[in-house]
Amino acid sequence: MTENYYHSYSRTSNFPPSEGYGDYTEETREESEDGTTTYHYTKSSGDEVFLHVRHDLKNQPPPSFELSNCQGKKRALLIGINYTGTPNELKGCINDVHNVKNFLTTLYGFQEEDMVILTDDQEEPQLIPTRANILAAMEWLVHDANPNDSFFFHYSGHGGSVKDISGDEDDGYDETIYPVDFQEFDGESGQIIDDDMHDIMVRPLCAGCRLTAIFDSCHSATALDLPYIYSTHGVIKEMNLFKDAGKGLLTAGVAYLQGDKMGAFSSMKDTAMRLFNARDVGEQNRQQNSSPADVIMFSGCKDDQTSADSQEAGKATGAMSYAFTSTLRENPNQSYHMLLNSVRDILRNKYEQRPQMSSSHPIDVNLMFVC
């Protein structure tokens, strides 16, 4: 297993350790022209860690933020889309919404009158999860935010990715969700991109206001463009540039073998540009997309993975929604670190997807989960 972590450290940090990192042993360290030192650690089991430290950033103050105690007003927006009667039909998304609704009212004190539920089996037009209704409901969710409020967003449905045109994505793609009426729009314009979801639901929040978001959809790791993504070790992850480069070069090679020389060239060019821009874009995102609010997101999978529509206890459900609610029903007193690992443990033996946890600011993963 290989992990890549990316950090900037203050002058007072006692890092890197001279003898190693926990039970890892330092093998090499390399200095790059952009001021990054890469420390390579190995473990007896064969696991590897590549830790990237930007010394030129160590005088920058950490983002300013406030935690929420979640004792203020509570609101929830729950969206489940089965795409009934279409070639894209899913089975468990509406069930997910009912499950999460019961979960929130039973465990966390949310009231049904403070929820908006959008599903494609509704009779009232304003409760159908169209693009317009979803965007309006997102605005409703976070309006009039105050410190210690707690807002909850849950989406179960199709997710995708489109070419990024704003230059703010490490991998060159925006992550998206699919409203029920997405096919009524030209091209990709019916999808809702991560930039817009961030601008609507994250950017307006004040310091000390909590937004908890659950995305049970494909390609969802950065669906809210939150800049801090955590590994199961409880540390901030850095994207693995060389792993991504390998995927891009494989695509180019397949295209070349199939006689598509222009496609091969395009894929190689895209890969080179991602390698050139990714680290700068990642740091820029942390500066632009950090928030004084307390935003936590759990997603069903990494950006390059799919999220399963499955059967649990004889009922159709999204794998992520099931795992998240099940583990907290069994043990509500879990830290963020424990919760991420618990969700992954539930899914590990049955699914390839790897749930992700991200935040709008650096968090102490040993704090207890609240919402």
From 52, 154, 158, 361, active-site residue: 158
The conformation of residue 24, written as its DSSP 8-state character, comes to: B
Q: Mark whether 218 is an active-site residue.
A: yes
Q: Distance between CA atoms of 181 and 265, rounded to whole angstroms?
A: 35
Parallel, antiparallel or unpaired: strands 173-177 and 159-163: antiparallel
- Which of helix, strand or coil describes residue 152? strand
Is the peptide bond between 125 and the residue preceding it cis, with omega within 30 degrees of 0?
A: no
Residues facing residue 237 across a β-bridge: 5
Q: What's the rounded Cα separation, in Å, for the pair 258 and 252?
A: 10
Residue 70: active-site member: no
Q: 341 in helix, strand or coil? A: helix
Distance (Å, whole) CA 278 – CA 167:
10
Whether residue 359 contacts residue 230, with contact meaning beta carbons closer than 8 Å, is answered with: yes
Cα dihedral 141→144→147→150 (10° resolution): -20
What is the residue whose two structure tokens read 């598509």? 260
Q: How many angstroms separate the CA atoms of 337 and 82, rounded?
A: 31
Q: Residue 8: what residue type? A: S
Q: Which of 55, 61, 367 is nearest to 234 (CA)?
A: 367
Of 70, 93, 209, 218, which residue is the catalytic one?
218
CB 279 within 8 A of CB 38: no
Tokens of 12: 């007072």
Across 305-332, b (16+ Cβ under 10 Å) vs e yields: bbbbbbebeeebbbbbbbbbbbbbeeee
Neighbours of 198 (CB within 10 A): 21
Question: Which residues are designated catalytic?
Answer: 158, 218
